């Protein structure tokens, strides 16, 4: 081995500051001055095993996530909470199979009855209400022009494959994936065909699969690229403007139908809220496409999406079809075990309910206090780094310090947990449970449009998540209890380990507040340019250097897209640097 490797092996017993579980992850024969990645990760790369149901494996991230899930399983399985009922209804495959695809029948009939664009909009509404995304997507988020209020965002969405390139690329692998899509869609539509009176099962499913792919391909061609989506800003519009932009889509009807109970005395909500459009061109061209495409083609697409998304919760054959497409697209070998699938479903459907179980059992006041102390040191270190930036003017630094001062940190859990008032679940009706919760979320999302926004709201971020998040429009950082677990963090671990693990993660998230997108938002999350023109040019020059460096990285014959990953790359570099500096800050 190299001299460095020999020295490391000779000193292994004396490296008391290096946790023993980390030693096997290293490659002592790799010279860190020549290939630090191999030196630091070589042992892990050699020994790591990936289960057939997994698509990736990371020592800390997946290790903590797996452990959190395993520890939660017996708790949620026996819990009388809504999460427990939901989890057991998901595990109740006997009841699911007994119900079968019958609940699809009303949806299928509605799609079959579509005869014009108005009735098409009604079906799109009902599908979104059931959490089946078609044609476009929506969300309620903070309005960056006025963070005291929320806005309804309309965005591109409704395709089945992961990104537009899967539909447009002529690479042999992508062409094969599209053929796989058609095979799966045909299998799914055969199950739908038996629910349609007079359906020709020998011909229609294959025709419908081809037409569904045509519709999704036409939509995908209108999508903004991932690189464009990173930098494109949403544009505020009135409902009149939205209707004019996309007349065939009847979006005013959709919005008012989704708002539901917020209608009063004949009033509608659409004219009283802020609507933000991302990728205006998508909605304009989508309207043209829907206005001219044969309705039967669009109906085939709707029926496929309906059965593909909802069907997996009703029928083993449809579940198998979904897994088959996953195999084709990702190479996944085995299905995720049912208990784990149900656990993730419960976490997504009832994040606060599952989160309470986790917090009550696996999160302590001692851990929270230690994490808060770490955050304080990281903020101090970030400020010191910014103060030392010779390329930045004092004027911009003052604005940066103001934003850093106003940045809030939510550690472990939300200050208030949702109690899901009015939700009543059954242990024998998994699909109905999901539909009821979808309606609950829609109701509460639109309710937020009528109230002042809450910067500290966690939203869909569960306390069980093994991750941390920064929000541009809240200027807040959320650190779930799920990541405040060993080996990421422990109040009993030495500072060097805690700061090298979780400190790097939190430093990363703080840096996001000042990356190529975060720098465009102010201290309260408002859209604001607080940089001098000279500092903007200096920042962009340094960002270009980082983007260029990452674009030169090659893995498996492909290069990193430095433009797409720029925000993460800035945050990675800043996070490690800040964590190291914070370790030096006096306790």
- Work out the mean pLDDT of the chain and round it to a whole number: 93
Token pair recorded at residue 61: 């991230």
For residues 363 and 412, the answer to whether their CB atoms sit within 8 Å is yes
342 and 369 housed in the same domain: no
- pLDDT tens column, 113-163: 999 999 999 999 999 999 999 999 999 999 999 999 999 999 999 999 999
What confidence category does residue 18 fall into, taking pLDDT thresholds of 50, 70 and 90?
low
114 and 244 housed in the same domain: yes
Q: What is the pLDDT of residue 587?
A: 75
Lowest mean pLDDT among 107-116, 267-276, 417-426, 436-445: 267-276
What is the domain count for the chain? Answer: 3
Helix, coil or strand: residue 479: strand
Helix segments in 130-238, DSSP class H: 165-168, 172-193, 204-220, 226-231
Q: Single out the residue of 580, 575, 578 nearest to residue 508, CA to CA.
A: 575
What whole-number distance in Å separates Cα of residue 102 and Cα of residue 378? 55
Q: Single out the residue of 91, 88, 126, 81 nearest to residue 350, CA to CA.
A: 81
> What b/e readout covers 347-361, taking b as 16+ CB neighbours within 10 angstroms?
bebbbbbbbbbbbee
Share above pLDDT 90 across residues of the chain, in percent, rounded to a whole number: 82
Which of 349, 378, 407 is where one domain is finished?
349
The angle, 0 to 180 degrees and rounded to 10, between the axes of the packed helices 204-220 and 172-193 is 130
List, in sequence order, every residue forming a beta bridge with 277; answer none if it has no partner: 154, 235
What does DSSP assign to residue 141?
E
Average pLDDT over residues 268-273: 72
240 and 192 housed in the same domain: yes
What confidence category does residue 22 fall into, taking pLDDT thresholds of 50, 70 and 90?
confident
- Please provide the distance, in angstroms rounded to a whole number, between the alpha carbons at the two ends of the chain: 39
The radius of gyration of the chain from alpha carbons, rounded to an integer in Å, stands at 26
Sign of the CA dihedral 289, 293, 295, 300? Answer: negative
Chain centre to alpha carbon of residue 464: 15
Any domain includes 81: no
Any domain includes 444: no
For residues 139 and 317, the answer to whether their CB atoms sit within 8 Å is no
319 and 384 housed in the same domain: no
What confidence category does residue 459 fall into, taking pLDDT thresholds of 50, 70 and 90?
confident
368 and 338 housed in the same domain: no
Any domain includes 450: no
256 and 401 housed in the same domain: no
Which of 293, 322, 349 is where one domain is finished?
349
For residue 176, give the CATH number of its domain: 1.10.1380.10
Burial level of 424, CB count in 10 A (0-12/13-18/19+)? exposed
Statement: residue 3 has pLDDT above 80:
no
Any domain includes 393: yes
Share above pLDDT 70 across residues of the chain, in percent, rounded to a whole number: 95
124 and 168 housed in the same domain: yes
- pLDDT tens column, 64-76: 999 999 999 999 9
Statement: residue 14 has pLDDT above 70:
no
For residue 559, give the CATH number of its domain: 3.40.390.10
Q: What share of the chain is helix, strand, coil (3-state, %, to 5)?
A: 60, 5, 35
Statement: residue 376 has pLDDT above 80:
yes
- pLDDT tens column, 531-583: 999 999 999 999 999 999 999 988 888 899 999 999 999 999 999 999 999 99
For residues 515 and 546, the answer to whether their CB atoms sit within 8 Å is no
Token pair recorded at residue 248: 């065939």
Any domain includes 144: yes
Q: What is the pLDDT of residue 33?
A: 87
Any domain includes 343: yes
- pLDDT tens column, 472-529: 999 999 999 999 999 999 999 989 999 999 999 999 999 999 999 999 999 999 999 9
List, in sequence order, every residue forming a beta bridge with 345; answer none if it has no partner: none
What confidence category does residue 6 fall into, taking pLDDT thresholds of 50, 70 and 90?
low
Statement: residue 264 has pLDDT above 50:
no
340 and 368 housed in the same domain: no
Which of 29, 47, 65 is where one domain is finished?
47
- pLDDT tens column, 286-312: 999 999 999 999 999 999 999 999 998
110 and 10 housed in the same domain: no
Average pLDDT over residues 367-373: 96
Q: What is the pLDDT of residue 219?
A: 99
322 and 385 housed in the same domain: no
Token pair recorded at residue 428: 């024998």
What whole-number distance in Å separates Cα of residue 295 and Cα of residue 124? 13
Statement: residue 54 has pLDDT above 90:
no
Any domain includes 443: no
Any domain includes 429: no
What confidence category does residue 8 fall into, taking pLDDT thresholds of 50, 70 and 90?
low
For residues 375 and 368, the answer to whether their CB atoms sit within 8 Å is no
Average pLDDT over residues 370-381: 96
Statement: residue 399 has pLDDT above 80:
yes
- The structure's pTM equals 0.92
Q: What is the pLDDT of residue 267?
A: 56
340 and 389 housed in the same domain: no
- Which residues form the domain of 513? 364-415+456-584
Q: What is the pLDDT of residue 555?
A: 85
149 and 272 housed in the same domain: yes
């Amino acid at each position: 081995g190299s001299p460095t490797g020999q020295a490391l092996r000779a000193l292994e017993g004396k490296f008391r500051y290096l946790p023993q579980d980390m030693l096997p992850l290293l490659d002592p024969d790799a010279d860190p001055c020549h290939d630090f990645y191999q030196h630091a990760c070589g042992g892990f790369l050699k020994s790591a095993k990936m289960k057939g149901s997994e698509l990736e494996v990371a020592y800390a991230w997946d290790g903590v996530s797996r452990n959190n899930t395993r520890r939660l399983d017996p708790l949620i399985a026996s819990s009388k909470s809504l999460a427990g009922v939901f989890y057991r209804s998901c595990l109740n495959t006997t009841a699911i199979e007994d119900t079968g695809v019958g609940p699809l029948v009303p949806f299928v009939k509605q799609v079959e009855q579509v005869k014009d664009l108005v009735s098409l909009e009604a079906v799109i509404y009902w599908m979104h209400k059931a959490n089946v995304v078609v044609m476009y997507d929506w969300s309620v988020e903070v309005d960056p022009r006025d963070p005291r209020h929320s806005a309804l965002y309309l965005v591109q969405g409704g395709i089945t494959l992961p990104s537009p390139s899967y539909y447009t690329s002529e690479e042999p692998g992508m062409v094969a994936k599209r053929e796989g899509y058609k095979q799966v869609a045909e299998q799914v539509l055969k199950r739908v065909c038996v629910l349609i009176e007079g359906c020709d099962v020998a011909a229609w499913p294959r025709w419908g699969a081809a037409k569904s792919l045509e519709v999704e391909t036409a939509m995908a061609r209108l999508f903004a690229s991932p690189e464009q989506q990173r930098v494109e800003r949403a544009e505020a519009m009135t409902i009149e403007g939205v209707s004019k932009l996309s007349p065939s889509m009847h979006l005013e009807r959709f919005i008012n139908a989704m708002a539901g109970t917020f209608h009063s005395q004949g009033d509608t909500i659409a004219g009283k809220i802020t609507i933000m459009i991302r990728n205006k061109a998508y909605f304009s061209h989508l309207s043209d496409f829907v206005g001219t495409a044969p309705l039967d083609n669009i109906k085939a697409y709707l029926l496929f999406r309906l059965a593909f998304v909802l069907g997996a919760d009703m029928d083993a054959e449809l579940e198998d079809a979904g897994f088959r497409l996953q195999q084709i697209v990702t190479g996944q070998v085995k299905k995720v075990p049912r208990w784990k699938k149900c656990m993730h479903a419960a976490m997504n459907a009832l994040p606060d309910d599952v989160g309470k179980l986790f917090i009550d059992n696996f999160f302590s006041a001692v851990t929270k206090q230690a994490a808060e102390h770490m955050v304080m040191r990281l903020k101090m270190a970030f400020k010191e780094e910014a103060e030392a930036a010779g390329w930045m003017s004092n004027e911009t630094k003052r604005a940066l310090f103001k934003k850093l001062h106003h940045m809030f940190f939510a550690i472990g859990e939300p200050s208030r947990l949702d109690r899901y008032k009015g939700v009543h679940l059954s242990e024998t009706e998994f699909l109905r449970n999901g539909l009821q919760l979808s309606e609950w979320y829609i109701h509460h999302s639109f309710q937020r449009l009528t109230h002042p926004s809450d910067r500290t709201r966690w939203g869909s971020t569960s306390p069980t998540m093994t991750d941390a998040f920064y929000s541009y429009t809240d200027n807040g950082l959320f650190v779930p209890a799920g990541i405040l677990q060993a080996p990421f963090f422990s109040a009993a671990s030495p500072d060097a380990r805690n700061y090298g693990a979780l400190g790097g993660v939190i430093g990363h998230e703080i840096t996001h507040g000042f990356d190529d997108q975060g720098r465009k938002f102010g201290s309260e999350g408002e859209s604001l340019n607080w940089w001098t023109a000279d500092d903007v040019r200096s920042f962009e020059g340094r960002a270009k250097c980082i983007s260029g460096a990452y674009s030169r990285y090659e893995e498996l014959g492909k290069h990193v897209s430095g433009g797409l990953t720029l925000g993460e790359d800035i945050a990675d570099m800043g996070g490690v640097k800040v964590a190291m500096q914070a370790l030096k800050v006096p306790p």
